[in-house]
Structure 1
Amino acid sequence: MSTTSALDGAYRKAGWHLIPFIFVCYLFNYLDRVNVGFAKLEMLDALKLSNTVYGLGAGIFFIGYVLSGVPSNLILHRIGARRWISVMMIAWGGLSACTLFVSSPMSFYVLRFFTGVAEAGFFPGMVLYFTHWFPTRKRGQVMALFMSAIPISGLIGGPLSGWMLSHFGAGQGGLAGWQWLFLLQGLPTVLLGVGVYFYLNDGIAQATWLSASEKSAMQAALDADEKERAAVSTVGQSFGAVLRNGSVWTLGVIYFCIQMGVYAINFWLPSIIKSLGFDNPQTVGWLSAVPYLAAAMFMVWAGRSADKHRERRFHVNLPMAMGLVGLLLAANFSSNALIVMIGLSMATMGALTALALFWSLPAAFLGSAAAAGGLALINSLGQIAGFVSPFLVGWIKDATNSTDAALYILSSVLLVGALLVLRIPARLVNR
């Protein structure tokens, strides 16, 4: 067997061992993050909260997230992924479940803030974790498979959340449907967090399920990839050098633009569908699954295409343009349910695919020493959108009784991001 074939076999083994489990962890990460969008359908009336209060509560999560992102990832880099990710998942799963006890705007804000603190290091930590296993040429498809958990969480979470609201709507066990929603989607994360400690390995050297030759081949490929990154990188290896690098800040702004569209979809998709005249929570849940199903298939195809053609920029730029067009369709034809659903599907496909493939850009040129702080910084800048986007949409919805103006603003932000992608030098990322 050739060295290349043996290495590809080792990658397949690593992929099957790591990606399905991490996929499930990220699926519940996203469920715990966006289930508040479905809880909103009952929670606002039950607690007498306005759309502005909801938007602020949904967004304040990301203040804690942004403040804690860099230090959390530096801790992970120091003590290892297995222990730190386990701690994070147990903490955020418990806090998410405790949202069932919310009784006022302030308690809503406090729980959302600390849930954001607990979750902050998970996603950038996973991006960093994959750099310890897979070289640049493999990461487009790896990231697409991993991040397909986002649309799958919508595909599963929509109908599941709608069923929970309907099934438990009568107040079974003394809890309302929205309270059961937080409880039943938070507790599995705690159990998965315990599983992380026993299942994951911190790196290739600790993987008892790989043979010595497989470990050697994978490590040699990573070492060669590191040399290539060092040859094209303009970023020093200290966190101070990361802070001084213009490309890192440009990538942070691009990620912010993508996330503005993503979080608008995540937090407001059920409400937009409900405004089309669908009042039954289960119907809203099933209809909200359609855009996420389309996004899951498109995301995996685009990831394979990016790796096959060794092209990264246009595989981010064009999906952003697709998301822009989808938001404009949803805003311009807001009275036509079919066109709105087509627009929302296009927006979801474009925004989530751009979100997944974006991470092949910084990971392609940040050296291993700079990656821990650099990836967390970029992620933290992007996650500011998690506060701005839902609050902006909620404020506009209260002021105009419509989300159309917000969709126009969000499409403009996606346009800015799509243009900035083209400013990233192709030599840095097209590998």
Structure 2
Amino acid sequence: MKTDNSNIDDLREVLHWIRNLVTGRLKIHFSQIDDYLVENIAFSEETTGLASFAITHQPTFIEFAVLALSYVPHIQPDFFNKIIAEYLPDGGDFPEFGCVKGTNHRGILPTGETAQFIIAGDDIGKRIAVQRLFSSEHWFAKEHVLWLEQVREGEPAMSGRMIMNPEIVELLTLGTVSKPSFSIDFPAEHIETEMDWDDLVLPETTFRQIQEIEQWIACNETLINDWGMKKRIKPGYRALFYGPPGTGKTLTAMLLGKQTGNEVFRIDLSRVISKYIGETEKNLARLFDKAENKNWILFFDEADALFGKRTDIRDAHDKYANQEVAYLLQRVENYNGLVILASNQRSNIDNAFSRRFQNIIPFPMPRPEERLSIWKKTIPQQLPLDMDLDIENIALRYELSGAAILNIIQYCSIQLLADTAPFLTAEMLDAAVRREYIKEGRIT
């Protein structure tokens, strides 16, 4: 996407176009003209944010007008104030126009009623057509592009402020959308790795199952659209990674993202789960709404906290806890991308989830030959080894995960870099292994 003068030219064109539309309606309203014509907008290049969005979604005249009305305050805050002042220089009430005041914004912001007035005037049929754009079945809602702010009970729904997805605002303005930052509103961390598949040591059966996920990512669009399977199968792909800590679950998720060009986000369940009724569902809704239609890989680490077995209902807390699981199950099933759940034990995950996984992949503790491969791949070439150090014997004697081996090598390397020894001896490595065992609580 370009963020150069081409996009700026398109922004100017949109401002000019929507101004003609608004002023034309106001001239009719104040009996200055009987009718007016606004031609379709012409964009400068297909690579700008605005042009690309228009080509992708092919909005109708009415759809584009609604989008432009909700967008202009983001690039020209006083847009509506200036135009209204031209026709009401002394001020006064103008309920037909339908704008509202914001909390921080000093100008006025368009509502659904604003769109109805400017596009349809008093034409009931056209006003209904505008209202249909805000239904849950329209692509505005389905793709989380634009929606109406909820109003108090009893007030007309169209009096709600038009809200454009901030990511769409960024795309139309800058031509690109930045990755979301970890926050209370988005409890997920973007993760990536410089490692490659050759750095990962797993059993052959596990690798074959991982390749099935790659194949789904590569072939899903063809299967759903070209082969007509959209009506028969649910969107997305759900996989469970289970095994002891440090066996490669997170690294595999990152490598899948790297291999397929999809962003990977690790969900912080401590930020998602709330003791307050309904808050967990809201947190999950924000997360999935943000991720929808972006081909993100959502990685739920230590998923037992939220995807664990449901309990018998003994009190209100159990009831709402089970509702959270049911809601989560629904969102996971309807997500059109890849969802990976990671757990230390397969038995910890509720059977209601297990039945809906396309793939359940074990990540066992590495066997001696796999541990030897991990040791060899992990030890840097610059690390001097004692001639008597037998790595094969170390791999055979100590049952360690890949992450534990990496911790040991890091510790030993720092010790040598600090000039505490000229080379790595068997005694030093044994002591480092014991140190790791103590950290894991395997010995005292």
Interval of TM-score (by shorter of Structure 1 and Structure 2)? under 0.3
| Structure (1/2) with the larger helix percentage | 1
- Could you say which structure has the higher strand fraction? 2
Query: Rg: which structure is higher?
Result: 2
